């Protein structure tokens, strides 16, 4: 594991853990740049146009240009805002998204912190985002921002419930909360992936498949609501509230919100991948095994993990540019009247199957 | 003491989804609306005062700029009004070309209405598909008179230019290109469950209220009355074509809700395609400028003429005292009347529904404020 | 479907003093003149009687007739004295398919007309516009304030023939 390697190298727990914590950031920042570019290209091609084409080959440097622009913008603060909360809110939102990466395994030799409470910790700490959003909405001293922040808080808190219920059903099958162990259980080929019944022996595996698929759909829809993407993007509904809770932000603070949104998107995709699609496992053997270069295996695993995560981020973008958005009360109806009963029934049935 | 108050929220003159500069003052009780007051006048350009200082042919470019999304129909109505006052009979080729231009303009205007409505509801992609198809229509207009949005094409007594020799062929190509695209638009937006949930049973306009408020056009037809000026008060040569009038039936909710108004516009685009096919098959030869008078000096009197704009009934009331300039020109703009119903439609709905309702009644601020 | 002359006969029979005359022969519309303070009563009858059933007010427009004495002022501009203002009503019936034009005429120093906004809700905004542009005072209107001009415009009524633009409005020069 990388953490032990660093500790043996440096000798101090604090410095080793600090360096180990920077790895997800080193992945996230290029990922955010790539994701913004991907979003613009995907939306462009879906809308029968080309997207950015001028800055670099086919526009791949566009995000770099945008970051340079955002960094040098004037930081406008309205005079009637609550300064301390206003400045602290983007930090909290980003911290909430980033802290979730501590328990997500990127490869078999790297996980930020190998605690036994893995997934529970992730769900708990990503609720910091709610506090940050409420702070942003209130401190902006703007009726529109306040409306957007309230809607967002209601939405995120409600949609955590189906998420947790589906996670519980997966834990019933696998028996552990630690995402690393979960990924190890789904090894050797895609036949063992959780979405195809997991590494369960005998007839139970095939009976479980439809229920696990339903659980997968429920958690994917709830994760769309957690990150405020269409069809659940009421809090930042452009045509109604002019950008919702981040209306009043400009410059670097706005860039923090932006970065936090893409980090959050990847975090929830990574959780779904780790739970259902085998985490960093490859669907069919490793090149490292066939050629005998065993140091190649973790690199391949990281590649598979990143590819699966980016695929789900791509599906999130695809849904954003296709579907219209739901109204606030319809959003709540979907959560409380449909997703929660379905996921609860799912949990009970899966538990029954496992016990029999 | 704790007490609850109404909140006054301003959807101000600059807003992404009020279609133009319109200010809406909403009185909210939480998220439920108690009343909506529209404030207009931000785009008032004194059109009627200008008309009293200009001669009749000079008014045609000004008339375009009122409803800038359906400019051909504005000119059509004005030219028709003055021709009726002066008893001018235009050649048949001119009539056919005017109808072709009018129906192409109707399709272009409905595409903008449908696309921006999807954008307000949150679907970003149909907007671009609608504008891509509208580009083809604007290219046809540019081929004819050189302008894409404001034409100065339909003159009193005739037209300014004859159509390009290839115009008929390109129009046929456009009709064949557009039919499958309309089906694609329906699959993407019209029958989407989320879209139906946002718009069905929202903003219901009962028929009695609609007639009392003077609402016309697709909004009135969606409430259940079969009233189309092309058949009920015929003008030009519309009686030579066969087409249906779609009437709202409450397909996904009640009669007269937002989905009905939206769907009527989609059906009207199909009917316009039928009229176009018949018109380009029957168009005769002729000289387009043979009936244009040297000096437009109507006799003393007054007239009220109305045409079926894509948004409703566009009327021109012209009082002339026998001079080269009119004494008074009053325009009856369909969006002016449709906007006044907004308060009735929005009572009891949520803030997000205001955007849906405002998009479905399809207003253009240029003709409200003139 | 009735012609203008028939409708005039029916109205004259029911309201002998308030309906004044009918003007025919001038192109292109026949106009029925009505007394300004009884347009309300007559409109109720127009809407509710079974033979007429005028349920749709198409247009309500104010006109400055400019038929008074034209007086030229020392600075070159002119103004009218003793002219009249008119309001035209175009109504139609969606079921019986006939339409008619009514007119009321008022002198410029006392421009008062009864409002018809309780009969046809369409008249609400149209009367506000006639008030804003021509200066006709509609009695019993629910909310008679300006609609197109700014709410605090105190320099007169723009569509009158002798209207002059002010020099400054709220500190800005009016060109």
**pLDDT tens across C106-147, in order?**
888 888 888 888 888 888 899 999 998 888 888 888 888 888
Looking up tokens 């375009």, which residue turns up? B64
* Residue A348: HSE in the Cβ half-sphere, 13 Å Cα cutoff: 5
Cross-chain residue pair A324–B15, CB shorter than 8 Å: no
- Report the alpha-carbon distance of residue B141 to residue A326 in Å, rounded: 38
How distant, in Å, are the alpha carbons of A327, B8, B12, B202 from that of B117?
15, 25, 19, 14
Residue A46 structure tokens = 């879906």
Residue B342 neighbours by CB under 8 Å, 6+ apart = B24, B36, B38, B357, B358, B361
Domains of chain C and any CATH numbers: 4-173 (3.30.460.80)
- Report the alpha-carbon distance of residue B41 to residue C151 in Å, rounded: 10
For residues A100-117, one letter each, b for 16 or more C-beta atoms within 10 angstroms of the residue's C-beta and e for the rest, the string is bbbbbbbbbebbbebeee
Residue B322: the pLDDT is: 85
Name which of A242, A324, A329 is nearest B192 (Cβ-Cβ): A324
- What number of H helices and E strands is found in chain A? 15, 2
| Averaged pLDDT for residues A18-45 | 87
Q: Is B149 helix (H, G, I), strand (E, B) or coil?
A: coil
Q: Say if residues A106 and A271 touch (Cβ distance below 8 Å).
A: no
Determine the residue among B330, B336, B337, B369 to mutate to test chain C binding: the one whose Cβ has the most chain C Cβ atoms within 10 Å: B330
Q: Read off the pLDDT of residues B304-359 as tens digits, 9 standing for 90 and up.
A: 998 999 998 999 999 988 888 899 999 999 999 999 898 888 888 887 788 888 88
Q: Find the range with the poorest average confidence among A116-120, B53-57, B192-196, C26-30.
A: C26-30
Q: How confident is the model at residue B16 (pLDDT cuts 50, 70, 90)?
A: low
Residue A84: the pLDDT is: 83
Q: What is the dihedral of CA A256, A261, A263, A266, to 10 degrees?
A: -170
Q: Say if residues A165 and A340 touch (Cβ distance below 8 Å).
A: yes
Determine the residue among B17, B33, B124 to mutate to test chain A binding: the one whose Cβ has the most chain A Cβ atoms within 10 Å: B124
Percent of chain C with pLDDT over 90: 2
- Report the alpha-carbon distance of residue A41 to residue B314 in Å, rounded: 43
CB-CB neighbours of B142 under 10 Å: 13
How distant, in Å, are the alpha carbons of A325, A353, B51, B206 from that of B347?
22, 51, 39, 14
Question: Is the minimum CB–CB distance between A240 and chain B shorter than 8 Å?
Answer: yes
Residue A315 structure tokens = 């599906």
What mean pLDDT value characterizes chain B?
A: 87
Q: Say if residues B238 and B229 touch (Cβ distance below 8 Å).
A: no
Q: What is the ipTM of this complex?
A: 0.90
B250 has a pLDDT exceeding 90? no
Residue A149 structure tokens = 């922040």
A30 has a pLDDT exceeding 70? yes
What mean pLDDT value characterizes chain C?
A: 83
For residues B206-229, one letter each, b for 16 or more C-beta atoms within 10 angstroms of the residue's C-beta and e for the rest, the string is ebebbbbbbbbbbbbbbbbbebbb
| Averaged pLDDT for residues B243-253 | 85
Residue B86 structure tokens = 């002066």
Q: Say if residues C8 and C19 touch (Cβ distance below 8 Å).
A: yes
Q: Which 8-state DSSP code applies to residue C136?
A: P
A238 has a pLDDT exceeding 60? no
Name which of B44, B85, B214 is nearest C58 (Cβ-Cβ): B214
Residue A69 structure tokens = 């622009």
More confident position, C118 or A199: C118
A245 has a pLDDT exceeding 60? yes
Q: Say if residues B159 and B289 touch (Cβ distance below 8 Å).
A: yes
Phi, psi of A207 (to 5 degrees): -70, -30
A317 has a pLDDT exceeding 50? yes
Q: Which residues in chain C have Cβ-Cβ distances shorter than 8 Å to B319?
A: 63
In Å, how far is C27's CA from the nearest CA of chain B?
5
Q: Which residues in chain A have Cβ-Cβ distances shorter than 8 Å to B9?
A: 143-144
Q: Read off the pLDDT of residues B274-299 as tens digits, 9 standing for 90 and up.
A: 999 999 898 888 888 888 888 888 88
Cross-chain residue pair B41–C149, CB shorter than 8 Å: yes
Q: Which of A310, A251, A311, A266 is nearest to A73 (CA)?
A: A251
- Report the alpha-carbon distance of residue B356 to residue B119 in Å, rounded: 10
Q: Read off the pLDDT of residues B66-86 as tens digits, 9 standing for 90 and up.
A: 888 999 999 999 999 999 888
Determine the residue among C66, C147, C164 to mutate to test chain B binding: the one whose Cβ has the most chain B Cβ atoms within 10 Å: C147
Q: How confident is the model at residue A218 (pLDDT cuts 50, 70, 90)?
A: very high
Q: Where are the domains of chain B?
A: 47-369
| Averaged pLDDT for residues B265-281 | 91
* Residue B364: HSE in the Cβ half-sphere, 13 Å Cα cutoff: 23
- Report the alpha-carbon distance of residue B52 to residue B273 in Å, rounded: 38
Residue B158: the pLDDT is: 87
* β pairing state of C99-107 and C84-92: antiparallel
Q: Say if residues A215 and A346 touch (Cβ distance below 8 Å).
A: yes
Q: Which span out of A151-155, A287-291, B124-128, B267-271 was modeled with the highest average pLDDT?
A: B267-271
Q: Which helix (H) or strand (E) segment is A162 a member of?
A: helix A143-174
Q: How confident is the model at residue B17 (pLDDT cuts 50, 70, 90)?
A: low
Name which of A240, A320, A321 is nearest B352 (Cβ-Cβ): A240
Q: Say if residues A90 and A257 touch (Cβ distance below 8 Å).
A: yes
Residue C135 neighbours by CB under 8 Å, 6+ apart = C85, C111, C156, C157, C160
Residue B111: the pLDDT is: 92
Question: Is the minimum CB–CB distance between C97 and chain B shorter than 8 Å?
Answer: yes
Q: Say if residues B75 and B56 touch (Cβ distance below 8 Å).
A: no
Q: How confident is the model at residue B248 (pLDDT cuts 50, 70, 90)?
A: confident
Phi, psi of B226 (to 5 degrees): -90, 85
| Averaged pLDDT for residues C29-43 | 84
- Report the alpha-carbon distance of residue B109 to residue B93 in Å, rounded: 24
Name which of A143, A324, A329 is nearest B118 (Cβ-Cβ): A324
| Averaged pLDDT for residues C36-64 | 86
Residue A242: the pLDDT is: 54
Q: Looking at A73-223, which runs of residues are DSSP E strands?
A: 105-107, 110-111
Cross-chain residue pair B337–C27, CB shorter than 8 Å: no
- Report the alpha-carbon distance of residue A42 to residue A49 in Å, rounded: 10
DSSP of A40-59, one letter per residue? HHHHHHHTTS----TTTGGG
Residue C175: the pLDDT is: 66
Residue A86 structure tokens = 């206003």
Q: How confident is the model at residue B103 (pLDDT cuts 50, 70, 90)?
A: very high
The residues facing B321 across adjacent strands are: none
Helix axes B92-121, B71-86, angle to 10 degrees: 150
Name which of B299, B313, B336 is nearest C27 (Cβ-Cβ): B299
B363 conformational bin, left if phi > 0, alpha if psi -120 to 50, beta if neither: beta
B47-369, superfamily in CATH?
Cytochrome-c3 Hydrogenase, chain B (1.10.645.10)
- Report the alpha-carbon distance of residue A210 to residue A66 in Å, rounded: 44
Residue A239: the pLDDT is: 46
More confident position, A87 or B103: B103
A217 has a pLDDT exceeding 80? yes
């Amino acid at each position: 594991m990388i953490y032990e390697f660093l500790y043996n190298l440096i000798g101090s727990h604090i410095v080793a853990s600090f360096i180990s914590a920077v790895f997800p950031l080193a992945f996230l920042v290029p990922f955010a740049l790539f994701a913004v570019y991907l979003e613009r290209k995907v939306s462009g091609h879906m809308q029968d146009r080309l997207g950015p084409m001028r800055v670099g080959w086919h526009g791949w440097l566009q995000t770099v240009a945008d970051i340079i622009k955002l960094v040098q913008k004037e930081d406008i603060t309205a005079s009637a805002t609550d300064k301390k909360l206003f400045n602290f809110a983007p930090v909290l939102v980003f911290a909430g998204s980033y802290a979730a990466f501590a328990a997500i395994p990127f490869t078999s030799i790297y996980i930020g912190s190998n605690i036994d409470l893995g997934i529970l910790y992730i769900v708990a700490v990503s609720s910091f985002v709610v506090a940050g959003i409420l702070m942003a909405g209130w401190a902006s001293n703007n009726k529109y921002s306040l409306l957007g922040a309230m809607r967002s808080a209601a939405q995120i808190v409600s949609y955590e419930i189906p998420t947790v219920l589906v996670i519980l059903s997966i834990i019933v099958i696998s028996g552990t909360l630690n995402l690393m162990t979960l990924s190890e259980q789904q090894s050797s080929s895609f036949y063992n992936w959780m979405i195809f019944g997991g590494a369960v022996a005998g007839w139970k595996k095939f009976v479980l498949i439809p229920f696990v698929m339903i659980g997968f759909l429920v958690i994917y829809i709830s994760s769309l609501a957690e990150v405020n993407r269409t069809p659940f993007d009421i809090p930042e509904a452009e045509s109604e509230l002019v950008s919702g809770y981040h209306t009043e932000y400009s410059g670097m603070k706005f860039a923090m919100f932006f970065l936090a949104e893409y980090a959050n998107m990847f975090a929830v995709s990574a959780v779904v991948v780790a739970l259902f699609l085998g985490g960093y496992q490859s669907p069919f053997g490793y090149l490292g095994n066939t050629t005998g270069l065993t140091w190649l295996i973790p690199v391949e695993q990281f590649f598979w993990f990143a590819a699966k995560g980016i695929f789900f981020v791509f599906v999130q973008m695809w849904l954003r540019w296709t579907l219209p958005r739901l109204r606030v009360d319809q959003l709540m109806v979907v959560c409380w009247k449909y997703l929660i009963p379905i996921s609860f029934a799912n949990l009970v049935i899966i538990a029954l199957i496992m016990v029999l | 003491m704790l007490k609850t108050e109404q909140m006054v929220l301003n959807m101000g003159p600059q807003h992404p989804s009020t279609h133009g500069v319109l200010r809406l003052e909403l009185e909210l009780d939480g998220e439920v609306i108690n009343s909506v007051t529209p404030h207009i006048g931000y785009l008032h350009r004194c059109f009627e005062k200008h008309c009293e200082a200009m001669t009749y042919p000079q008014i045609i470019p000004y008339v375009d700029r009122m409803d800038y999304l359906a400019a051909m129909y504005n000119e059509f109505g004005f030219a028709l009004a003055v021709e009726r006052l002066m008893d001018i009979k235009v050649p048949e080729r001119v009539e056919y070309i005017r109808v072709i231009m009018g129906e192409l303009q109707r399709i272009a205007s409905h595409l903008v209405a449908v696309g921006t409505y999807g954008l307000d509801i949150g679907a970003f992609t149909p907007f671009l598909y609608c504008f891509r198809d509208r580009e083809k229509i604007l290219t046809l207009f540019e081929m004819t008179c050189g302008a894409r949005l404001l034409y100065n094409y339909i003159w009193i007594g005739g037209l300014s230019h004859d159509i390009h020799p290839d115009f008929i062929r390109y129009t046929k190509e456009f009709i064949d290109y557009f039919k499958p695209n309309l089906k694609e638009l329906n699959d993407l937006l019209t029958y989407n469950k989320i879209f139906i949930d946002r718009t069905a049973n929202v903003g219901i306009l009962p028929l009695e209220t609609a007639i009392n408020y003077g609402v016309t056009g697709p909004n009135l037809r969606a409430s259940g009355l079969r009233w189309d000026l092309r058949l009920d008060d015929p003008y030009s040569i519309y009686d030579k074509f066969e087409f249906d009038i779609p009437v709202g039936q409450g397909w996904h909710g009640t009669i007269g809700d937002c989905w009905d108004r939206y769907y009527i516009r989609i059906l009207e685009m199909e009917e316009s395609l039928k009229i176009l096919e018949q018109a380009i098959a029957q168009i005769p030869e002729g000289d387009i400028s043979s009936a244009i008078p040297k000096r437009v000096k109507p006799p003393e009197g007054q007239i009220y003429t109305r045409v079926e704009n894509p948004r409703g009934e566009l009327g021109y009331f012209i009082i002339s005292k026998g001079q080269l300039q009119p004494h008074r020109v009053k325009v009856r703009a369909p969006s002016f009347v449709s906007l006044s119903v907004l308060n009735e439609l929005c009572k009891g709905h949520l803030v997000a529904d205001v955007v849906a309702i405002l998009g479905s009644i399809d207003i253009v601020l240029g003709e409200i404020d003139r | 479907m009735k012609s203008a002359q028939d409708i005039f006969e029916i109205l004259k029979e029911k309201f002998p003093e308030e309906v004044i005359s009918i003007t025919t022969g001038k192109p292109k519309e026949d106009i029925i003149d009505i007394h300004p303070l009884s347009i309300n009563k007559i409109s109720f009858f127009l809407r509710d009687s079974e033979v007429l059933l005028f349920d749709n007010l198409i247009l309500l427009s104010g006109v400055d007739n400019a038929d008074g004495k034209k007086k030229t002022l020392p600075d070159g501009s002119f103004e009218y004295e003793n002219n009249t203002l008119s309001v035209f009503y175009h109504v139609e019936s969606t079921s019986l398919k006939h339409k008619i034009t009514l007119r009321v005429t008022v002198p410029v120093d006392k421009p008062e007309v009864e409002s018809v906004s309780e009969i046809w809700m369409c008249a609400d905004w149209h009367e506000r516009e006639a008030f804003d542009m021509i200066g006709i005072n509609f009695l019993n209107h629910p909310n008679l304030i300006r609609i197109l001009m700014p709410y605090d415009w105190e320099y007169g009524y723009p569509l009158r023939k002798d209207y002059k633009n002010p020099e400054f409005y709220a500190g800005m020069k009016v060109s």
